[in-house]
Chains A and B, each alone.
Chain A
Amino acid sequence: MSKLLNLALGILAAIGGFVDIGDLVFNTAAGATFGYQLMWVIPIGVIGIIVYSEMCGRVAAVSGKAVFDTVRERAGFKAGLYALIASEVVNLLTLAAEIGGVAIVLQLLSGLDYRVLLPLAIVALAVVMWTIKLDWIERIFGYGGLALLVFAVAAVKSGPDWVKVGNGFIPHLAQNNPWLYLYFVIGLLGAAMTPYEVYFYSSGGVEDRWTPKDIGLNRANAIVGYGLGGFLSLALMIVGGAVFLRHGINPEHLGTIALGAEEPLGKAGLLFALVGILFAVGGASIDTVFSGAYNLAQYLGWEWGRYRHPAGAPRFALTWLVLLVAALAIVITGVDPVMLTEYAVIFSAVALPLTYIPILLVANDREYMGTNRNGRLANVLGVVYLVVIMVIAVAAIPLMIITNVGQN
């Protein structure tokens, strides 16, 4: 019974913890621009992150090594260094955007100055990370993020055309503005397949001392957690289409997204949305900063671990503190967190193959993985997504330039 309860609680936390600022921005903007025409991209992105995470979790369970241990081992120190630098840059951009998002929501809830709230948000996150056990951090932010389910209610209450919603799941190209449409395809895939989530996930597997016996648990976690989390992305896109597109609004501010829940549900909808966004973005900030520290520590062979007291892994602790300060330095310049999010998501799509390819090779290596290497389905999906990832990596920056970062 207690195992079932733990599983249920874990799933709830995963749903609440799935959405980050990239999902919020891209799903809502895609709905506001193209209605429900891009619904088909969300399942593709969600299956992609499941395939990638499942492989990383399996490698961690068999070898006891997380992503950047594996990348360094498989790609070599020099080639691995490019992957590390690219991942850390994207991580830092994402972290800065998430922290900016936390400060914006706090501003909308408290009326305090954004520039005052930025350092306060950093200090609050550092205190939480230093003092609270990670299990509790995941629960608190995961359950808080469940308030985002208000968008599922808003999606139904806003009265979308369900036939058009259904048709949106059939892949097709838009007749009007095909470049912008493709830019959103890339952005939605990039937002769903954010690499920091995978680094965090596989490092967690190593810290939880997964063994090959836990491969079933790894698979269930990846499928159920990400699968149900993707449900929130669908809800956000429906709200984008049913509220913002209908009224001719292009949501360019994080606060506007909450207005999408107010329109059908009133003040309660607005408050639930703001609280949900705060917890989702706050939780994602913590995942991102830990991921950045994991990557560096694993690559350089330092002691690392979120369950360890900072004194037991001082360079790991120092790294996440430095990352928090660096993110503050970026976002306090006044750069718009929503714009920063778009750049972070697009560049993460570009950097994705650098870690995906070594993981795919290792997961398929008979000597390394033994009987737990990729089966036929995992291989087919792994190769299909390799093609998808390579295409989006090549197309991301040209599309960003052609569409002026999605502005036209």
Chain B
Amino acid sequence: MRSAVVLVAVLLLTGCNGGTVDRHALTNDAATIDSINCESWLLARAAERGRLTTYYAREQAEELQIQAANFADALAHRKTASGLEQRVRAKAKEAATLSSRLQRLHKHPTDHALAAQLAQTFKQAGNCS
């Protein structure tokens, strides 16, 4: 029983976000960054059209900003599989840019012009449909 618990704990820990970034992990992380971009696009578009409450726009933008910042930090520092470092660090920069854009939306949730401008950049960055 005890060894089963240890095995589960080890497997869970190795599955967490702290290991080497291999091709599979990079694909997953890239998909998540795209997902955050697309959600940010919906959020900014709704803010532009005045379809959100100020608090919702501000707080949800902050949630997404923190998530993007965590990705930027992790991808900038984690070890990578050979041949992938350049792509991983590029994704880190992409996540950092996303985080700073979301920071602007968080600070100015009622600025419709800014929201419109950000919505376009989020949509482009995430290839959203």
Contacts and interface: CB of A to CB of B under 8 A. Distances in A.
A253 B35 contact: no
Interface string B43-80: 10010001111111011100110010000000000000
Nearest to A274: B56
B90 interface: no
B52 A111 contact: no
B46 to A, nearest CB: 6
A256 interface: yes
* Best-surrounded residue of B59, B64, B67 (most CB of chain A within 10 A): B59
SS of B interface (majority): helix
B15 interface: yes
Given A249-B39, A259-B60, A111 B55 contact: yes
Given A259-B60, A397-B8, A408-B24, A267 B51 contact: yes
A252 B67 CA distance: 10
Contact of A108 (B55, B64, B67): B55
A207 interface: no
B129 interface: yes
Given A111-B58, A248-B129, A259 B63 contact: no
Given A247-B129, A270-B51, A401-B12, A259 B42 contact: yes
A320 B75 CA distance: 43
Contacts of B50: 267
B15 A401 contact: yes
A253 B51 contact: no
A366 interface: no
Contacts of B97: none
B15 A247 contact: no
B53 A270 contact: yes
Contacts of A256: 39, 60
A405 interface: yes
Interface string A386-407: 0000000000010001001101
SS of A interface (majority): helix
Contact of B35 (A246, A249, A270): A249
A108 to B, nearest CB: 5
Contacts of A255: 56, 59-60, 63
Given A247-B38, A247-B129, A404 B59 contact: no
A197 interface: no
A255 B43 CA distance: 11
B52 to A, nearest CB: 6
Contacts of B15: 401, 404-405, 407
Interface string A253-280: 1011011001100110011001000000
A270 B59 CA distance: 14
Contact of B46 (A110, A246, A259, A397): A259
A270 B39 contact: no
Contact of A270 (B28, B52, B127): B52
26 contacts: A107-B55, A107-B59, A108-B55, A111-B58, A247-B38, A247-B41, A247-B129, A248-B35, A248-B38, A248-B126, A248-B127, A249-B35, A251-B39, A252-B32, A253-B60, A253-B67, A258-B56, A262-B46, A266-B51, A270-B51, A270-B56, A271-B53, A274-B56, A401-B11, A404-B15, A408-B28
Interface of A: 107-111, 246-253, 255-256, 258-259, 262-263, 266-267, 270-271, 274, 397, 401, 404-405, 407-408
